[in-house]
Structure formats: C-alpha cells, structure tokens
Amino acid sequence: MSDGDERGWRRFGPESIERAMLLALGDEFGVSLRPRSIDLGDGTRLEIEGADEGCDLLVQMVGNQGTFRSLHRNKVMADMFKLTWLRSAMFPESRAVLCVSETVAQVFTPSGWTTRAARDLGIEVWIFDAAGKPAPLQHA
C-alpha cells in the first residue's frame, strides 16, 4: 500500500479486525470507509471509527472476540450513543451503522432492550462473521 492508501488507518493496523470490518462494510455499501477525526466547529474534535468522505455513512465497531464480557455491552451502548448524537448534532441525513463481532452480537437478542433501542434510534446493526462477511442483524 502506498502512503495515500494508508491515509486514515493510523488507528487500525493491517491485520486488525477493525480494518477488516471497515473494508468489508465499505465493499458492502460501495464506499471507501476510513477512521475519521471530525472537527465539530468549536475547537472540539471527535474520532469516529469509520466514515465515508462526506460522512453520509457513520460506523462504529466492536470487534472483540473470545469470551463475552460486560465491557463489550458497555462499548456497544457508548457507540450507539456516539452514533446517535453525531448524526443528530452534525449529520442528520447520515446512515448510522454499528458493526459487531459474533461474540458481541449476543448483546442483540430478539427480546433485548439494546436491540429495540438500536431499531428505534435508526442504528443499523451488522454482524461481522468468522468468514469476514458483514450481514445485517435479522431481528425485527
């Protein structure tokens, strides 16, 4: 990869699951997704794990694998809050996506409140499977 190709990847190394998640989601949506630092206009900066150039697609990820822990649930909730706030405050027409690993997907049970909250807030939840493919959460 050239330096231009590496632009924006400083947070996620070449072998990281987060990079794999962003690349797979970018392919799925037909856009280039990169980690972004967003200037909020008052001197405040916000880091988002993935966005396209125009911030029409905002992405946060929880790629933890192995044993599920409560900190994974906490990251899911923090990322849902971040996506909701950023969209409502700065990019009201944007699409908000939370991509999680299969380990973390257990936060989103059919009867779980986080599943309902994501749906009610307009946050799309995508599951990144062991084969490296993202798929939308299937709960209604």
Question: Would you write out the chain's pLDDT as a tens digit for each of its 140 residues?
Answer: 333 445 567 777 777 889 999 999 999 999 999 999 999 889 999 999 999 999 999 999 998 888 888 889 999 999 999 999 999 999 999 999 999 999 999 999 999 999 999 999 999 999 999 888 999 997 54
- 8 A C-beta contact, residue 24 and residue 32: no
Q: Residue 28's domain is classified under what CATH number?
A: 3.40.1350.10
Which residue range forms the structural domain that includes residue 22?
3-10+17-136
Q: How far apart are CA 114 and CA 105, in angstroms?
A: 11
Confidence (pLDDT) at 6: 54
Neighbours of 73 (CB within 10 A): 16
Q: How far apart are CA 47 and CA 39, in angstroms?
A: 9
Cα separations (Å) of 55 from 2, 92, 117, 125?
Answer: 24, 10, 22, 18
Q: What would the two tokens of residue 103 be?
A: 């380990």
CB-count exposure of residue 113 (10 Å: 0-12, 13-18, 19+): exposed
The domain total for the chain is 1
Q: How far apart are CA 14 and CA 23, in angstroms?
A: 11
Confidence (pLDDT) at 9: 73
Q: What would the two tokens of residue 134 be?
A: 């993202």
Tell me the pairing of strands 57-62 and 134-136: unpaired
This prediction's pTM: 0.89
